[in-house]
Amino acid sequence: MTERFIGLMSGTSLDGVDAVLARFAEDGRLDVEAEHCTPYPQDMRDEVLSLQAVGHDELRREALLANRLALLYADAVRGLLLKAGKSEGDIIAVACHGQTIRHAPHQGYTLQSVNLALLAERCGIDVMGDFRARDVAAGGQGAPLVPAFHQSVFADATESRVILNIGGISNLTRLAAGQPVIGFDCGPGNMLMDAWCHQHTGRRYDVNGEWAASGQLHAGLLRDMLAEDFFLQPPPKSTGRDLFDLPWLVGKLARHGDVPPADVQCSLLALTARSIVDAIHGACPDTRSVYVCGGGALNGALMAELAAMAPDMRWASTAELGLPVHQVEAAAFAWLGWRFHHRQPANLPEVTGASGLRVLGALYPY
């Protein structure tokens, strides 16, 4: 018997909603049957960014954003079902991450915006969401949640490997035979590069890292950015735009005078690469293969920088392991939905710092 779940993911890059239709066998093995992406409208993206900081009338604005997000996610579900040739009755549930607008586990909360009840109403399918809250309630970071999924689908007894996701934030999972799984956020992935690129060029991201490649590394700026306390903290740890935002970057730049914008972009790319390589060398020293997913895997300049910084490792795509780079995170939330449906724990306490295994999620029946 097989079961189908839809996974929805919109991350800190704010480029759109990724949706996958995953078919699960009884043992949990999955196949992605279809995928779909619904782009973010610019005004919605702007509102998400605005709500990252304390501001006026936040409660009403967040509630309205949650409603709009539910409608956008519902559009993604409809587009996905159309591509797959499936109907609502073929799906057990939609598993939705929501859009993170605040992440403060040290204060006991993480907030992912979406009206899950409205999503269920518009989809005509049961909806599962709020996957991070139970881990936080158990003393964990609530992130990253994908290492348990990585272990389920990517582990190999013959190879010590790292699964590296480079989205808005970069995070890694160590899968090494005979050792516990570990995973944590490395630091900013595409987030700062995207923000700086948009501010200075009007483009949402630096295509293939070409603008960064046109600049020169500013060693002093890179050194100051790497001195941030987060990089020195041991795992478990997680981060987001609550720390690594444009004001953070402007504060670092203030010490270095007028740095050409392309040089800043080059230095931001080096920050992403250096923080990743340092994290792997520090926590996963026996790694020989790194499999990359997320939007950063499509940045040629970034991938070249990673390979140059760590030539002792093989840098490859998760497509080699059966999942294209843009499917992994949405598939992970389909898997989290499948785990919740069967009331199986889905966090890894050694990753998040929670006090034990927990069933993650909440159900909004249609």
- Residues 329-339: pLDDT tens digits? 999 999 999 99
Asked whether residue 316 falls in the same domain as residue 351, the answer is: no
Residues 243, 176, single domain; the answer is yes
| Residue 213 pLDDT > 90 | yes
Q: Supply the DSSP symbol for 206.
A: -
What CATH number is associated with residue 96? 3.30.420.40
Locate the DSSP E strands across the chain.
Answer: 3-9, 16-24, 30-39, 93-96, 99-104, 109-113, 127-129, 161-166, 169-175, 182-188, 289-293, 314-317, 362-364
Q: Is the pLDDT of residue 14 over 90?
A: no
Q: What is the mean pLDDT of residues 211-217?
A: 98
How much is the pLDDT for 52? 87
Phi, psi of 29 (to 5 degrees): -65, 140
Distance, in Å, from the CA atom of 150 to the CA atom of 60, rounded to the nearest integer, reads: 37
Which DSSP state fits 59?
A: H
Contact call for residues 80 and 123 (beta carbons, < 8 A): no
If asked whether residues 243 and 185 sit together in one domain, one would say yes
Of 64, 62, 139, nearest to 102 by C-alpha is 62
Q: Is the pLDDT of residue 349 over 90?
A: yes
Average pLDDT, the chain: 96
Looking at the structure, do residues 152 and 126 belong to the same domain, yes or no?
A: no
The tokens describing 96, both together, are: 């939705």
Total number of domains constituting the chain:
2
Q: Which region holds residue 129: left if phi is over 0, alpha if psi is between -120 and 50, else beta?
A: beta
Looking at the fold, whether 72 and 158 belong to one and the same domain comes out as: no
pLDDT, tens digit, for every residue of 105-156?
Answer: 999 999 999 999 999 999 999 999 999 999 999 999 999 999 999 999 999 9
pLDDT of the residue at 178? 86
DSSP secondary-structure letter at 223? H
Phi, psi of 123 (to 5 degrees): -85, -30
Give the contacts of 69 (CB within 8 A, at least 6 positions apart). Answer: 10, 44, 98, 99, 113, 114, 115
What is the residue range of 39's domain?
3-141+327-364
Q: 321 by DSSP, 3-state: which?
A: helix
State the pLDDT at residue 15: 86
Q: What is the DSSP letter of 40?
A: P
Residues 317-343 have a mean pLDDT of: 97
Q: What is the pLDDT of residue 11?
A: 85
129 and 15 in a single domain? The answer is: yes
Are residues 243 and 230 in contact, defined by beta-carbon separation less than 8 angstroms? yes
Rounded mean pLDDT, 274-286 = 96
The reported pTM is: 0.94
262, 234 Cβ separation under 8 angstroms: no
Contact predicate 347/142, CB 8 Å:
no
297 and 196 in one domain?
Answer: yes
Are 125 and 151 in a shared domain?
Answer: no
Residue 228: pLDDT over 90? yes
Residue 12: the pLDDT is: 83
Interval 190-211 mean pLDDT: 96
Task: Name the helix (H) or strand (E) containing 310.
Answer: none
Same domain? 265 vs 190: yes
Q: What are phi and psi of 338, to 5 degrees?
A: -65, -40
What distance in Å separates the CA atoms of residue 226 and residue 268, rounded to the nearest whole number? 10
The pLDDT score that the predictor gives to residue 147 is: 95
Classify the phi-psi angles of 121: left when phi > 0, otherwise alpha if psi is within -120 to 50, otherwise beta: alpha
48-71 mean pLDDT? 95
Please report the pLDDT score of residue 1 as a whole number.
Answer: 79
Same domain, 126 and 219: no
What DSSP string runs through 94-154?
A: EEE--EEEEEEGGGTEEEEE--HHHHHHHHTS-EEE--SHHHHHTTS-----HHHHHHHHH
Q: What is the mean pLDDT of the segment spanning 267-286?
A: 96
Residue 13 and residue 116 share a domain: yes
Strand, coil or helix: what is 54? Answer: coil
What is residue 285's DSSP assignment? Answer: T
| Cα–Cα distance measured from residue 165 to residue 185, given in angstroms and rounded to the nearest whole number | 9
| 120 and 196 co-located in one domain | no
In tens, the pLDDT along 285-302 reads 989 899 999 999 999 999
